[in-house]
Amino acid sequence: MNIAMLGTGLIGTFYTMSLHGLRSRDKVVSVYSRSEERGAKFAKENNIPRWTTNLQEAVSDPEVDVVVVGLPNDLHKEAIFAAADAGKAVLCTKPLGRNGREAWEILQKVEQAGVFHGYLEDLVYSPKHLKAHASVENGAIGKVLWVRSREAHPGPHSDWFWNPEKSGGGAIIDLGCHCIEIGRSFIGKNIRPVEVVCWADTQVKPIAAEDHAIGLVKYQNGAIGQFEVSWCFRGGMELKDEVAGVDGSIRLDNFLRTGFEMFSAPGKKGYVAEKAESDSGWLFPVGDEVHELGYNDMFADMFNAIEQGKKPIEDFYDGYVVNAIMDACYKSVKTKKWEPVEIKEWRGLDEVEPLSAFVEYDENHWLVKEEILPDGRKKVILKEKAGGEIIEKDI
Ligand SMILES: NC(=O)c1ccc[n+]([C@@H]2O[C@H](COP(=O)([O-])OP(=O)(O)OC[C@H]3O[C@@H](n4cnc5c(N)ncnc54)[C@H](O)[C@@H]3O)[C@@H](O)[C@H]2O)c1
């Protein structure tokens, strides 16, 4: 694939590192930057033949098959519309829009134009997520009841993130979008998110948006996706997930302290890992950052899907659903109540079985639990089916 990369900031850099790594046959052939100097430097450093300060020129380049949008949130819509008008496949970073309305307009546009669209939610493509997800699909932990996803770091690296008019919000829109999609991925993307309750506050930073939030997303089958986000967490970037099923559980640490620890008294001198706060003392580098963050598997899925005429794992409909969930979160922060998730067109299941996992002990009892006690006795707690009484017995 020949790619036009829009944006030469942090994500443009990570995406290009991923695309040009490991002798990839997919190449960035053109890069758009608003600065001539930055575009030329980025092109030279990454072996990209052309650069331009004209977005239109980048998306309509006849050699380009796929446009990748790595621009600030307020520019996603304009860039995607330009790519769709040029008839190009378009991949967009997270969040798709600054709110559900903008994301819906974007979705309508690419569907009407009939172009391929992929939502670049890298964290559902991390190697750990992919393995954990496959295990969940195989029934390794039974029905998923609860997913907790946490992303916390000391705050974003560019001015526009901190301006809600440009970004659409604070830590929820920036980090919550990842955590919400991780929850959907484990719970089941065809299960409708129905309502949310969310707390958010501006505890530390002198900004108009939230720098902390915790939210619960309730799904139609009763499963809960919990997200925790912070722009004030000290010590690096935490990306942690927990999945609780009826028959098992999973815990994932995707980034900080994942088994690579270094102590440096003089300092490593330079970059350690994304959002690392120091380059001396105890350091937690990451082996292959673009791989651990999911970018390699994400682009492989996108390009395979384009070649095979399939849908990728994540497309703009997913981006739209995530934006709709975040809209409900912002509403709940204000009302302090559960708020419905308003989805214009639900494309998943209409009917789902409520989560229930009653285990029959015998004809007359449900099993509540079984345990071996410190003195060696084995005991069961049972519920009588007829009268509902809870009893225990040694077995
Ligand atoms: N894990 C992820 O998926 C991930 C990580 C970081 C950022 N992002 C997303 O990527 C997008 C860009 O974020 P970033 O971290 O690369 O930001 P950044 O500030 O590092 O880079 C933004 C780029 O856009 C350019 N730009 C800024 N204002 C512009 C304007 N008015 N016109 C044209 N170009 C302009 C900048 O010069 C820069 O090249 C955002 O949507 C962000 O949410 C995703």
Tell how far the Cα of 92 is from the centroid of ligand 1, in angstroms. Answer: 11
2-94 placed in CATH 3.40.50.720: yes
pLDDT of residue 259: 87
Per-residue pLDDT of the chain (395 residues; tens, 9 = 90+): 999 999 999 999 999 999 999 888 999 999 999 999 999 999 999 999 999 999 999 999 999 999 999 999 999 999 999 999 999 999 999 999 999 999 999 999 999 999 999 999 999 999 999 999 999 999 999 999 999 999 999 999 999 999 999 999 999 999 999 999 999 999 999 999 999 999 999 999 999 999 999 999 999 999 999 999 999 999 999 999 999 999 999 999 999 888 899 999 999 889 999 999 999 999 999 999 999 999 999 999 999 999 999 999 999 999 999 999 999 999 999 999 999 999 999 999 999 999 987 899 999 999 999 999 999 999 999 999 999 999 999 99
Q: Where are the domains of the chain?
A: 2-94, 124-292+315-340, 359-394
Tell how far the Cα of 157 is from the centroid of ligand 1, in angstroms. Answer: 10
Same fold flag, 2-94 and 124-292+315-340: no
Longest Cα–Cα distance in the chain: 78
* Residue whose CB lies within 8 A of the most ligand 1 atoms, among 59, 93, 163, 322, for a mutation test: 93
* Residue whose CB lies within 8 A of the most ligand 1 atoms, among 5, 8, 11, for a mutation test: 11
Ligand 1 atom nearest to 12, measured from its CA: 16
CB atoms within 10 A of CB 281: 12
DSSP label at residue 337: S
CATH T-level assignment (fold) for domain 124-292+315-340: Dihydrodipicolinate Reductase; domain 2 (3.30.360)
Tell how far the Cα of 183 is from the centroid of ligand 1, in angstroms. Answer: 25
* Residue whose CB lies within 8 A of the most ligand 1 atoms, among 13, 34, 67, 71, for a mutation test: 71
List the beta strands (DSSP E) in the chain. 2-6, 27-32, 50-52, 66-69, 89-93, 117-120, 144-152, 193-201, 212-219, 224-230, 238-245, 248-253, 262-264, 281-283, 339-340, 359-362, 365-372, 378-384, 390-394
pLDDT of residue 22: 85
**Contact in structure between 296 and 290 (CB atoms under 8 Å):** yes
Tell how far the Cα of 9 is from the centroid of ligand 1, in angstroms. Answer: 5
Nearest CA to ligand 1 atom 18: 9
pTM (global) more than 0.75: yes
DSSP label at residue 160: G
